[in-house]
Amino acid sequence: MDTMKTIRYLHLDVFAATLGGGNHLGVVVGADDWSVEAMQRFAQWTALVETTFLLPPTDPKASYRVRIFTPHREIPFAGHPSIGSAHVALQCGLAKIHHGLLWQECAAGVLPIRVEGIGTARDLLLQAPDARIISHGRDAHPLLAAALVGSSPGVLAPALVDGGRRWWLSEVADEASLRAWRPDHAAILALAQATDSMGLCVFARAAHADHQLAVRAFPAGVGIVEDPASGAANGLIAAYIAETEPEGALAQGYRVSQGREIGHDARLVVRIDKQAIWTGGHSHTVVDGVLDWPLGESDHGALDQQPLRKAQ
């Protein structure tokens, strides 16, 4: 016999510079007794890139716990779902700020989130997992040249970087070239599949008051043509810049513009210090309501006993 429980559901616009310009996120609060199958079923129904579930922490250091689902599987970490979930944890009174930080428990560990500003002006910045350069150079992989065809190379060589997620990164000569570039999506998909990566993220330096880097991300490896706002990918770009240009103009941080080519307008903030790289931005709650989602007996329990598939 089905049972029914009222659960809070919030739909967010994450990293938006203008209303509706960011990345969608669905956040479920109060589904503490849902099974992994129930969470996956709901994430499939929302059809969002990610849906998250806020839960009580199991680590005493953590402020809250989050589980992150795509429509097809659970993943250990992602950027904009982490920032949006932290926003909801504060909005719903599930977490308190201590010394300017929240602590998010997820499958990638217990990660700090820095809180800057208050109210509608608040930005949340995540300290991403440590990144490492796997390979770099335009000849780093036989399929890389085809994925970059038509793009004008910038200062930094292309690189495959891993840190929570795995992305190919490539600098483009200038912002105008980046925004006008028409990528070969089939070639990017082939590269992503061959290297078990998310896909390709390209960036260009900019000289604007509101952003110093323009970014486009093509996560073909998870079936997305172009992403309007990419927290984890921007963290990897920052790590790559910090490693290769420690004294450069961007070495202490910058602002990012992303998504305009697909009708969005995202703004991300990057802070770089000697201890960590922080990436994040603003979240806006668009919908805040209750979820009428009946569960069968098989949808309860067994919450932490299911294997988690690692995302690259």
**Cβ(158)–Cβ(144) below 8 Å:** yes
Integer-rounded Cα Rg, in Å, for the chain is 19
Backbone angles phi, psi at 231, to 5 degrees: -65, -50
What's the pLDDT score for residue 214? Answer: 98
- Mean pLDDT value of segment 91-106: 96
Q: What percentage of the chain reaches a pLDDT higher than 70? A: 95
Domain positions in the chain: 6-122+284-299, 132-276
Tell me what the pLDDT averaged over the chain comes to: 93
Structure tokens of 13? Answer: 């616009």
What's the pLDDT score for residue 1? Answer: 38
Position 270: which residue type? V
What CA–CA distance (Å, rounded) separates 39 from 295? 11
Q: Using pLDDT thresholds of 50, 70 and 90, give the confidence band for residue 262.
A: very high
Of 264, 253, 254, the C-alpha closest to 225 is: 264
pLDDT digits (tens, 9 = 90+) for 211-261: 999 999 999 998 999 999 999 999 999 999 999 999 999 999 999 999 999
pLDDT over 50 at 210, yes or no: yes
- Mean pLDDT value of segment 162-181: 96
Give DSSP secondary structure letters for 227-244.
Answer: BS--HHHHHHHHHHHHHH
Structure tokens of 282? Answer: 């603003």
What's the pLDDT score for residue 302? Answer: 54
Give DSSP secondary structure letters for 11-38.
Answer: EEEESBSSTT-SEEEEEEES-TTB-HHH
Domains 6-122+284-299 and 132-276 share a fold: yes
The interaxial angle of helices 79-91 and 231-244, nearest 10 deg, is 120
CATH number corresponding to 6-122+284-299: 3.10.310.10
pLDDT over 70 at 311, yes or no: no
What CA–CA distance (Å, rounded) separates 26 from 31? 13
- Mean pLDDT value of segment 304-311: 41
What's the pLDDT score for residue 5? Answer: 65
On whether the 132-276 domain is CATH 3.10.310.10, my answer is yes
- Mean pLDDT value of segment 4-19: 90
Structure tokens of 151? Answer: 């793009």
What CA–CA distance (Å, rounded) separates 39 from 95? 22
Residue 196's Cβ-side half-sphere holds a number of Cα atoms within 13 Å equal to: 5
What's the pLDDT score for residue 6? Answer: 74
Structure tokens of 211? Answer: 């952003």
pLDDT over 70 at 59, yes or no: yes
pLDDT over 90 at 68, yes or no: yes
Structure tokens of 68? Answer: 């992150």
- Mean pLDDT value of segment 158-167: 94
Q: Using pLDDT thresholds of 50, 70 and 90, give the confidence band for residue 296.
A: confident
pLDDT over 70 at 304, yes or no: no
